[in-house]
Structure 1
Amino acid sequence: MHLISSAFPDICIVPALPEHAEALAVLVRENREHLQAYLPAVLQLAAVADAGAYLQAAAARAASGDVLEWHIFSGTALCGSIRLKEIDAADRKAKMGYYLARHFQGRGIAGACVRAVLAHAFGALDLNRIQLQCAAGNQASMALATRLGFTLEGVLRQGECLNGVFVDLHVYGLLRKEFVPDGASSRK
């Protein structure tokens, strides 16, 4: 999975590799405030050694099929990450998470990249259901989920502790039969 679409010729998605450690550390350092709000755990990857250790572990998780993680590049610049976790082959489902550097947001890149991973999940991985969870204040992720055809299935009250405060999590689900790869809505 490399080229996203003709609309984004310089954007590609590649498996997260240990060789990306320096680029990941730079992305985290340059986006500290942006990531702090909803992904404070990612801030632990600001040092190259920590990013490298994380990516080594990510490669091992990918080899076992537990978690698949991809990096989003714009040319040679790492601009984000997408992963499928809690992959359950028996029940054909997984959870998805993603982030994008602040200065790459608002261009449709996240939507195109998430759509590409969804196509892979529902195609090559033969999954039937993908779940997304967004903190209640994360309006951008909630809007993206809706644009991609996800259904809000409920709220996990105080489902996550972010920066020392319990926040509600909005739970979204997308079924294979609802997914439209070209971006048109399948629901009326």
Structure 2
Amino acid sequence: MTRTGPRTGPTSEVTLFSVPLRDGGARLRPLEPRHAAEFLAHIDRGREFIGRYVGLPDVVEDLESARVFLKSYAEKAAADTGRIYGIWTDEGLVGGVLFRTMDVGQGTAEAGCWLEPAAVGRGLVTEAVGVIVDWAVEERGIHRVEWVVSAGNEASIAVARRLGMTKEGVLRESYLRRGERHDIEVWSVLAPEWRAARRERR
């Protein structure tokens, strides 16, 4: 990720950056507690759509819970155990990508995403996830990035495929969501695979 300031140490991250995405005007940058009101408004716009497979709307219900959620990721960033980034377009905040978990010592991380309906179909999530996976592999030494997704979430599975991830298996009826049990698919990409795929894309 391109930064606007100097690195402050081997495991620290300067958060003053903004990465342009190919979609005109779209940018990826850290989603921080100061964005709580905008984050809540964004979740409200996509609450039902996002909530079909993702529990985020159940956690972010009002301004205080939005602030608490973003603060939890600020604390993860400080501890180097997770990250969260927003996708902004000319319309404002429309989605995001994250590392729900990150274990630098083990070299593993779990990535995820969400998007409001108005921004679907523009390739924003695929590109944004690619940016953070590249950062994790090349700058943080992550060897394995996982993608854990409901088997019914075809859009998210398509992202995993486009990024060259491998489907490793299905956890049958392991996720209870709104009274319904979902099969969960586990996808992953390893650092050597990621680098090889990136060379091919060039």
> Normalized against structure 2, the TM-score is what?
0.85
Residue by residue over 1:107-152, the C-alpha shift from the partner in whole angstroms, topping out at 9 and shown as x without a partner, is 1111111111111111111111100011010011111111110000
After TM superposition, which residue ranges in structure 1, 4 or more long, deviate above 6 angstroms?
none
Does the C-alpha gap of structure 1 residues 155 and 11 become closer, same or farther in structure 2, counting only changes over 3 Å?
A: same
Quote how far apart the aligned CAs of 1:3 are. 2.2
Report % sequence identity. 26
Report SS of the residue matched to 1:141.
helix
- Structure 2 unpaired stretches of 5+: 2-17
CA distance in 2, matches of 1:138, 1:108: 16
Structure 2 residue 178 is the aligned partner of structure 1 residue 184: no
**1:25, 1:47 within 8 Å by CA — same for their partners in 2?**
yes
Equivalent residue, structure 2, for 1:148: 163
**1:11, 1:74 within 8 Å by CA — same for their partners in 2?**
yes
CA distance in 2, matches of 1:150, 1:124: 20
**1:154, 1:171 within 8 Å by CA — same for their partners in 2?**
yes
- Structure 1 unpaired stretches of 5+: none
Structure 2 residue 26 is the aligned partner of structure 1 residue 15: no
Count of aligned pairs between the two proteins: 184
Equivalent residue, structure 1, for 2:110: 95
Report SS of the residue matched to 2:201.
coil
CA distance in 2, matches of 1:83, 1:183: 25
CA distance in 1, matches of 2:95, 2:198: 21
Equivalent residue, structure 2, for 1:171: 186
Match of 2:98 among 83, 86, 92: 83
Structure 2 residue 122 is the aligned partner of structure 1 residue 107: yes
RMSD value over aligned CA atoms?
1.8
- Code of the residue aligned with 1:130 in structure 2: it is V
